[in-house]
A and B are shown apart, each in its own frame.
Chain A
């Protein structure tokens, strides 16, 4: 008999209740149970960073957490970044303006990583940005435009106060 565990997880401000098997990864819970397919799944062993979300504010790999462990916790995903439908956040806009993406597969993970990073470090150096991005793989291109986008976002966020 498969064990099924009731969970209540708050995602982008909305609490979702489900009954799940313990082995269900949080990444699959977000995508398959909640239909929030902005969180991407790449390697499923914690290397690529595509599935990065924020758990109680901290950027983490959702493929390395079981959904049952998120019970009672608050998660934010890429769908929660934009302030309203049709309007991008400052960070997202900077990625568009600086051409910080090509195919976009890695982008949601990078945005979640960087959204946490810029809260901790609003005035990062380029080296610090590169370190912050080290856990997110982009296979389209170099990282230069991504770094540019993060620095642009940091500047705009500072100017906006």
Chain B
């Protein structure tokens, strides 16, 4: 259980890091918090020839709060810091709620949001949360930069829209409108384990209690974080009654594509998706009111 040899670089600037990645391409991996990459290296499932360690790069770990309630989170921000950020907890409480379920405190102390998203594990909570929040990701390379929506970033298990010379530099989360409620819930065998099913729900109500916008996204529900746009669309225009939520949950069960694991069959995961979605919607509705 020791990693294979590699060449290690610890650049001090983003420009230097991008230069290194451009030079080494697919032979190099960025090392963020290392909470997924280093286990893979210890198992020798991953054997990158070059590591470009981002932990000494300046300027990648800021949490910027926009006056409009938006958030911009540097990719190297540790998950524990986001979890404890009072302003983020106010503007986007689903972040801390979901991060609380991400592995264990020691992992969150080291792991970063950008690393977690770039790893693109479909069982991971935060990719689903990013879908539900309609986040966009700033990707940088020596060639320039571009913004990619979360919905277009996750391409498959551990596969993203990142080109070999690109780095996820910043996560941009739009403000939540007034009377918006959010919730993240999951079911796992033990605390800190991968969820057998997790659901992020975001609903917005008008002053009369009618739902004007809804988004649902699930983790451990398919090859990528899985949005459920058809289920969410049925909620718009309703008052989010128990019947409305049950009907949406039934649709969501059809929209997910769980792969099954030693812990849960696809059929059981599908069942859980409906149960957890209903609970998450109920919570989000209560918080929106």
State the A residues within 8 Å of B (CB). Answer: 2-3, 5, 21-23, 25, 28, 44-46, 49, 52, 55, 58-61, 63-66, 68-69, 113, 117, 130-132, 134-135
Contacts and interface: CB of A to CB of B under 8 A. Distances in A.
Contacts of B8: 3, 5, 22, 66, 68
A59 B1 CA distance: 22
A23 B104 contact: no
Interface string B43-80: 10000000101010000000000000000000000001
B110 A60 contact: yes
**Main secondary structure on chain A at its contact with chain B?**
mixed
Contacts, number: 86
A13 to B, nearest CB: 21
A132 B51 CA distance: 31
Contacts of A49: 104, 106
A65 B2 CA distance: 12
Contact of A64 (B5, B7, B110): B110
Interface stretch (B33-41, B175-183, B205-213, B247-255): B33-41
B42 A132 contact: no
A23 B109 contact: no
Contacts of A60: 106, 109-110
Given A22-B6, A45-B43, A65-B34, A117 B105 contact: yes
A69 B53 contact: yes
A133 to B, nearest CB: 9
**Closest 9 pairs (CB-CB, A-B):** A135-B104, A22-B8, A45-B39, A44-B1, A58-B109, A134-B191, A64-B38, A23-B3, A134-B192
Given A64-B38, A64-B39, A23 B6 contact: yes
Contacts of B110: 55, 58, 60-61, 64-65
Contacts of A3: 7-8
Nearest to A72: B56
B107 A46 contact: yes
B82 to A, nearest CB: 14
Interface string B86-123: 00000000000000000111110110000000000000
Contacts of B7: 3, 22
Contacts of B55: 69
A60 B103 CA distance: 12
Given A58-B80, A59-B109, A61-B110, A46 B38 contact: yes
Contacts of A23: 2-6, 41
Contacts of A66: 8, 34, 38
B6 A59 contact: no
A119 to B, nearest CB: 13
A130 B39 CA distance: 25
Nearest to A52: B106
Given A3-B8, A45-B39, A64-B39, 16 more contacts: A23-B5, A44-B2, A46-B35, A46-B107, A49-B104, A55-B110, A58-B80, A59-B105, A59-B109, A60-B109, A65-B110, A69-B53, A113-B106, A131-B191, A134-B192, A135-B192
A63 B42 contact: yes
